[in-house]
Amino acid sequence: MKDGEIVMQMSEEKGTALLGAAYRHLKVSYPKFFKMDAISKAGLIASEILLADERERFVPREDRAVVLFSRHGCEADDIHYRETITDGNYFPSPALFVYTLPNVVTGEIAIRNLYRGETSAYVLEKFDAGQIVSIVSESFEDPVTDSVLCGWVDCADDNNVEALVFQVENGDGEEFTADVINGILTNYK
């Protein structure tokens, strides 16, 4: 869903299968997507929906930050990596290990869009719109940052994916507040 409009609807698929279907539906051409862990896929798809209509994408820029929040961090990928280091099956996987960091999703979005600004990942004890709004608002203290792609991207495991992302800009317009976030959640739950 984007700005209140349904972008695509699936009743069968969930989690990473849903993200794969979204990748095809949105006609994103970025084969690296298939190497990503669940949270990176979720962040990438959410950002593709958010940015679909933006003009002048893929031009290097330093003025847009990516600031994401989650509860589970990279736990979905940690589970897969741990399976490669058990006593019975000891083949540590570098391809899985590199995703065992909660901030890699922000890096993937930066790489895809050529954002050279700030990228930050925070893990919260639970979803907290107030905390998200404070930290995002404070990120504009960096004089280079004029725009922040931000929000909640959380994967407890491969079957449970949540993403609610925003493009927040310096300037006039609707203020980014906890009420705005909570209002969206109340309307669409």
Partner 1 sequence: MNGQVAILGCSAVTPLGFTPEENFRAVLEGRSELRLHKGEFGVREPFVASLFNRDAVRKEAYKEGIPGYGFFDTIVLLAASKAIREAGIDPASEKVQFVLSTIKGDGTPLSSSAAALREHFHCKHPVTVVSNACISGLSALVSARRMLLCREDIDYIVVVGAEVQSRFIVTGFQSLKALSEEPCKPFDAGRTGLNLGEASAAVVLGREGAGWQIVRGVVRNDANHISGPSRTGEGSYNALRALLPAPEDLAFISVHGTATAYNDEMESIALERAGLSEVPVSALKGIFGHTMGAAGILESIVSMKAAEYGIILPTAGYSTPGTSRPVNLSASPRRFEAPGSVSFIKLLSGFGGVNGAVLFRWG
Which stretches of the chain bind partner 1, using CB under 8 A?
A: 60, 62, 66, 71-73, 75, 78, 81-82, 85, 87, 90, 92-94, 97-104, 106-108, 110-111, 113-126, 128, 131, 134-135, 137-139, 141-142, 144
Pick from 178, 188, 163, 137: nearest CA to 72? 163
Q: How far is the CB of 25 from partner 1 (least distance, A)?
A: 25
- Minimum CB distance to partner 1 smaller for 87 or for 172: 87
**What is the per-residue DSSP string for 68-110?**
EEESSTTHHHHHHHHHTBSSSSB---HHHHTT-STTHHHHHHH
- Minimum CB distance to partner 1 smaller for 60 or for 173: 60
Q: How far is the CB of 12 from partner 1 (least distance, A)?
A: 28
Q: Per 3-state DSSP, what percentage of the chain is helix, strand, and coil (rounded to 5)? A: 40, 20, 40
- Minimum CB distance to partner 1 smaller for 26 or for 123: 123
Q: How far is the CB of 116 from partner 1 (least distance, A)?
A: 5
Q: How far is the CB of 10 from partner 1 (least distance, A)?
A: 27
CB 93 within 8 A of CB 146: no
- Minimum CB distance to partner 1 smaller for 18 or for 96: 96
Which helix (H) or strand (E) covers residue 180, if one does?
A: helix 178-188
- What is residue 162's three-state secondary structure? strand
Q: Which two tokens stand for residue 161?
A: 């994916």
CB 156 within 8 A of CB 147: no
Q: How far is the CB of 88 from partner 1 (least distance, A)?
A: 12
- Minimum CB distance to partner 1 smaller for 17 or for 111: 111
